[in-house]
Structure formats: structure tokens, C-alpha cells
Amino acid sequence: MENTASSVNAINRVTLSQKLKNYTRHPFSLAVFIVTTLAAVVTVAVLVTLIVWVLIRGIPSLSLDMFSFDYTTENQSMLPAIINTLFMVAVALIIAGPLGIGSAIYLVEYAKRGNKFVNVIRLTTETLQGIPSIIYGLFGFLFFNGALHMGYSILSGGLTLAIMVLPVIMRTTEEALIAVPDSYREGSFGLGAGKCRTIFKLVLPSAIPGILSGIILSIGRIVGETAALIFTAGTVGEIASGLTGSGRTLAVHMYLLANEGLYIDKAYAVAVVLLVLVLALNGASSLIAGKLSKGE
């Protein structure tokens, strides 16, 4: 067995010279290799350049005054914006999470495959994903702020963001449920389990990593959103008094500092915190999804 494994490894081990000989025999393969390699290098280079540039400009501008509990024109504190951002994430996910996951469960587990109504829902979801955020902001301003008389508030912004991230949660959950093998369901039914029990005890736990990835992606979009929240949640620099209170999020705070032109350095400092927050969320999503997929 060891000799067989070593021989297989020797066959699979291809040296650089052998690769070059193969590419010279197949010029198209060489062109594809060069293009794909350049694309990967450019992508990584852009990401690294962006991160390094923000860190270089932002870290020297960080100070303890920017984390003061009270916002003033002198300290330009970002702590109220961070707290408002957490409020916004909570409101949006509390609304969009159950709706998105529930809709996906219906499409995969209850609706008949090939149903025209299901196709309409999926087409609508894909369309909603492509709508610019400014359109969501205008809708939220006219409907939640105006028609429902919510005014500039965390609730109005959270409802608007919930509509924005609903397609993301719905589609990722749907794909995660589809990826669960039908043999799981058939085995559960064969043992006498009902539909509801099969879904909640077998299908959903198997799809948790994919569902969690969609939720984390939604959090990233909520944290980085500006246009929709300027129209719905407002730009007040203080901590929101409640769901009906107005307050700016971290991304809006950074935009306003840069837009005024007087606090560019502090805007870069806010960008550092925002970048760290997004990277932490992405890292946490990958870590949690990996552990859940391994059953740890």
C-alpha cells in the first residue's frame, strides 16, 4: 500500500519544467494560465493596497477622544456611531432573518418543484439584489418616514435595511437547503418523522454553515451602508434615544467627516475601525461556519 501511494504521489507531482513543456505544446492553456494568474495577483494587490493605505493614513489619527461617550464638534467621537450601528444591525436582522429563512424553507421544502409561483419569487429576489441602495433609501424615506410617520429613526433605517438584505439571506439559505442531500429527508421520513421535525431537526442543522454565511454577508452590508440610512435614519451624531430616535451609523459618520473636508484624517481613522470591524465579521463567519460544518 505504501509503494502504491508513493507511486501515485510521484505521478501527481509535476515539476515546473514539465509544466512549461506542456504549456508550449498548448499555447491556449498557457494564455489561460497567464490571464488567470494576473487576475489573482491584481485582485490581491488591490486588496492589500487598499488595506495598507487606510491603515497608514488612519492609525496615526486615532485617539482616545474619538471613543468618547459624548459626541462634540471637537472630538468627533465615533462611539455613538458604533452603538447606533449595533442597534441597526440588530433591528435589520431581527426582521430580515426570520423572513428570509422562512421564505427559503417554503421554497425548498414545501413548494412544488417547477412551480411558476416559485420561479416568480426567485426572479423577484434576484431583481431586488440588483437595485441600487439609493432607491431603497428613497423608498424608505417616502414610505417609512413619510407615509407611516416614523421620521428619521433607527426603526425606519432598520426596516429599509431589512428589505435590502432580505434577498441575500433568502438566496443563501435556499442554496444551503438545496445542498442538503434528499437522502437525509427520505431516511427521516422512513423512520416515521414528520415534515416539520425533519426540517428543524435534520435539514436546518445541516444547512447552518450556509445560512450563517448569508447572515454575516448581510451584517457586512448593513455596517457599510450609507446612502439608504442618510434618507431614513438621519445624521444625528448622538446615540439614538431608542427605536424612534435618529442617529448616524459608523459608515455615515465616516462619509460626513470626509464630506465636510475639515476632518479627513479623522475620516481615515473611522475607516480603520470600520475596516477592522468588517474583517472581524468575515473572519468570524469563516471560523464559525468551518466549525459548524465539522460538527464541533
- Number of domains present in the structure of the chain: 2
**8 and 152, same domain (yes or no):** no
Q: Which residues span the domain enclosing 53?
A: 2-61
pLDDT band for 289, please (50, 70, 90 cuts): low
From residue 5, give the alpha-carbon distance in Å to each of 9, 36, 77.
6, 31, 62
**56 and 182, same domain (yes or no):** no
Is the pLDDT assigned to residue 1 strictly greater than 50? Answer: no
The CATH number that applies at residue 252 is 1.10.3720.10
Is the pLDDT assigned to residue 143 strictly greater than 80? Answer: yes
Which residues, 6+ apart, have CB-to-CB distance to 240 below 8 Å?
83, 84, 87, 153, 154, 246, 247
CA–centroid distance for 23 within its chain: 39
**179 and 239, same domain (yes or no):** yes
**Cβ–Cβ under 8 Å, residues 257 and 76:** yes
Report the alpha-carbon distance of residue 188 to residue 109 in Å, rounded.
Answer: 14
pLDDT at 126: 85
Query: Using one digit for the tens of pLDDT, what is the confidence trace for 77-130?
Result: 888 998 999 899 889 999 999 999 999 999 888 887 777 888 888 888 888 888
pLDDT at 232: 93
**138 and 23, same domain (yes or no):** no
pLDDT at 7: 47
pLDDT band for 138, please (50, 70, 90 cuts): very high
Is the pLDDT assigned to residue 181 strictly greater than 90? Answer: no
**120 and 227, same domain (yes or no):** yes
Provide, rounded to the nearest whole percent, the portion of the chain with pLDDT above 90: 25
Higher pLDDT: 292 or 5? It is 292
**183 and 262, same domain (yes or no):** yes
**Cβ–Cβ under 8 Å, residues 123 and 105:** no
**286 and 143, same domain (yes or no):** yes
Torsion sign across C-alpha atoms 244, 246, 249, 251: positive
Mean pLDDT across the chain, nearest whole number? 84
**149 and 19, same domain (yes or no):** no
**230 and 130, same domain (yes or no):** yes
pLDDT at 2: 47
**54 and 93, same domain (yes or no):** no
